[in-house]
Amino acid sequence: MDLFKRLCAVWFKMQGWKAVGQIPAHIKKGIIIGPGHTSNWDFVYAMGAMHILNINAKFTIKKEWFFFPMNLFFMSLGGIPVDRRGSGKNKESLTDAMARLLKEAERLFILVTVEGTRKKVEKWRTGFYYTALKAQVPILVGFMDYAKKEAGIKGIIYPSGDYKSDVRKIIKMLRGVTPKYPEQACLNPRLDD
């Protein structure tokens, strides 16, 4: 057990939290979503749970944030710099950049928030879904439940191409999950166009 994993386990125990869920061994890549993102603490609990569960989760961040000494900090946490400033044909969307990273990697899990903010929203951003579809990887439904003091993986969805149907399955998995600030959470997003 590495030192950081031990520290995460001790911290979880001191806080009364548990890391729950697993990713089957045959799944080597995927998008891990974290619906109900309402606090900066979500990242702390999510990354702590990922370390305890031996899931080497990464997250994307603008390349502009990768300057010394911040680059060392973000890389140690699992940050992957993404350059989206290209122009014309060379401009790569974040969805395309993440799909490319997943296709090129032998083993990679990218953690994303579906809301894209900690503020109240009515709909989820769809990039996580189309990234998984393009890269042909599963979506792992992560969660932080502040009432039960649990964080980890709730389940797995293989995107079918029917966004609304697949998101309804994700919503069912999240029933009973309590975010830190429930009034700001979007665990039942609008699915109209």
Task: Encode pLDDT of 51-88 as tens digits.
Answer: 999 998 988 777 787 888 888 888 777 888 876 555 55
**Which helix H or strand E contains 43, and what residues bound it?**
helix 41-52
Helix (DSSP H) and strand (DSSP E) numbers for the chain: 6, 7
Q: Output phi, psi for 25, to 5 deg.
A: -55, -30
Q: How far apart are CA 85 and CA 23, in angstroms?
A: 34
List 62's β-bridge partners, or say none.
Answer: 82
Domain boundaries defined on the chain: 3-38+45-182
pLDDT < 50: residue spans in the chain: none
For residues 52, 55, 141, 178, the Cα torsion angle rounded to the nearest 10 degrees is 20
Q: What is the pTM of this model?
A: 0.87
**Which pLDDT score is estimated for 131?**
95
Q: Which of 143, 142, 109, 115 lies closest to 127 in space, CA to CA? A: 115
**Which pLDDT score is estimated for 9?**
92
2 contacts 9 by C-beta, under 8 angstroms: no
**Which pLDDT score is estimated for 4?**
80
**Which pLDDT score is estimated for 85?**
57
Q: Which residue has the tokens 């700001």?
A: 184
167 contacts 173 by C-beta, under 8 angstroms: no
List 61's β-bridge partners, or say none.
Answer: 81
